[in-house]
Structure 1
Amino acid sequence: MNCLIRSIRSDEWPEAKALRLIALQDPVAHMAFVETYEQALARPDTYWQELAARAAHDATEAQQIIAEGPDGDWVGTLTVLVEEPGTTDWAGFPVERRQGHVVGVYVRPEYRGIGLTEVMFEDGLEWAWQAGVERVRLIVHEGNTRAQRFYGRVGFKPSGRVVPLEKAPGETEFEYVLER
């Protein structure tokens, strides 16, 4: 694997936007992401600028980790959000402790299966632990068994929490957690 794993800089919002748009065109994007390609494409540049600034290398509330390929192209990404106790998460559940929440996991197909996702998770988890979270969680679609297997391999376990999907009535997602 000849990739550089690092946090983004806030001025790299065009690259972050471009990779997100690529990710949203993946055949399993409907199971992996809350928004659609059309929704993301319609967002103004200010949205992408603010998102990058909140998750850049010096940010404290989130961190976007990217894998930069040998040619400098971004080939993978994930973001870790910090959720504070006393708040409510995106699904309406109360947050009971300081925790990390992994979102936006994507690796370009030609870079899958070489250990890249594992290395990005290592960096993302290290950032989360240094940020003082007690656990890290993620949400995965019931039909995304490939992702479920991967998350199990890197230590995440199902918490038992099931999240109904508003965008797809009758479908659910599962919460997976990793305790320190």
Structure 2
Amino acid sequence: MDLATVDIRHLDADDWATFRDIRLRALADAPYAFGSTLSTARHHTEPRWREMLATRTQFLATTDDVGIGTVGLVPEADESGLISMWVAPEARGTGVADLLVVTAVDHAVAAGHHRIRLDVTEGNGAAERLYHRHGFRRTGIRSTVAPDDPRTEFEMLLIL
């Protein structure tokens, strides 16, 4: 894949169906990487998808108008939480993930944030290596993914 053909754009509430489609693909492909589940997401209504996009900054990577990746940022005071990162299997290893991380970092800097935090599920070495390449480091904080999901995740932090 030629990275010059990859377009990254910000999704707004009117892009809810596009976000729904890429999110459902992500949850189906990599359920181990998310705290959300495909079964729950399938039941979200249009207003719920719109609300999600209204409370975050979500980016979509495309090539030839086909979604191949996504990443989100949630503002939290003077920092951002990086969420919903996913790259389609056919685009992995091509640099698309790096483009998405750089886009998220640039957006956080432009917003005046001083840190970006994220959580990685234990055993997701590819994600940890990606974030580490961009300066994120483990903080030592560990938790379970959710009260009803005992998987372990660890926090990573990037100081901007």
Asked whether the two chains share a fold, i.e. TM above 0.5, the reply is yes
1:164 corresponds in structure 2 to 144
Which runs of at least 4 in structure 1 moved beyond 2 Å after TM superposition? 164-169
Structure with higher strand content: 2
* Separation in structure 2 between the aligned mates of residue 35 and residue 13 of structure 1, nearest angstrom: 17
Q: 2:61 aligns with which of 49, 57, 67?
A: 67
Q: Where do 5+ consecutive residues of structure 2 fail to align? A: none
Q: How far did residue 168 of structure 1 move?
A: 2.8
Residue correspondences, number: 156
Equivalent-residue separation in structure 2 for 1:14 and 1:38 (angstroms): 17
Distance (Å, rounded) in 2 between the aligned partners of 1:65 and 1:45: 18
1:60-108: CA deviation from partner (whole Å, max 9, x where unpaired): xx311110112x1111100011112xxxxxxxxxxxxx21110000111
How much is the aligned-residue C-alpha RMSD, in angstroms?
A: 1.2
Map of 1:9 onto structure 2: 12
Q: Quote how far apart the aligned CAs of 1:151 are.
A: 1.0
Shift of 1:164: 2.3
Tell me how far apart the structure 2 counterparts of residues 82 and 52 of structure 1 sit (CA, whole Å). Answer: 12
Paired AA for residue 139 in structure 1: D
Q: What percentage of residue pairs aligned between the two structures are identical?
A: 32
* Distance (Å, rounded) in 2 between the aligned partners of 1:163 and 1:155: 22
Question: Which secondary structure state, in structure 2, belongs to the residue aligned with residue 66 of structure 1?
Answer: strand
- Local SS of the residue matching 2:149: coil
* Residues 151-170 of structure 1, C-alpha deviations (whole Å, 9 max, x = no match): 1111100011111232333x
1:25 aligns with 2:25: no
Q: Deviations over 1:11-40 (max 9, x none)?
A: 1110100110111101x32x2111111100
Gaps (5+ residues) in structure 1?
55-61, 85-97
How does 1:96-175 map onto structure 2 within 5 Å? Answer: 98-165=78-145, 166-169=147-150, 171-175=151-155
Question: Higher helix fraction: Structure 1 or Structure 2?
Answer: 2
Mapped to 1, the partners of 2:157 and 2:108 lie a distance apart of 13
Give the corresponding residue for 2:73. Answer: 80
2:19 counterpart letter in structure 1: A
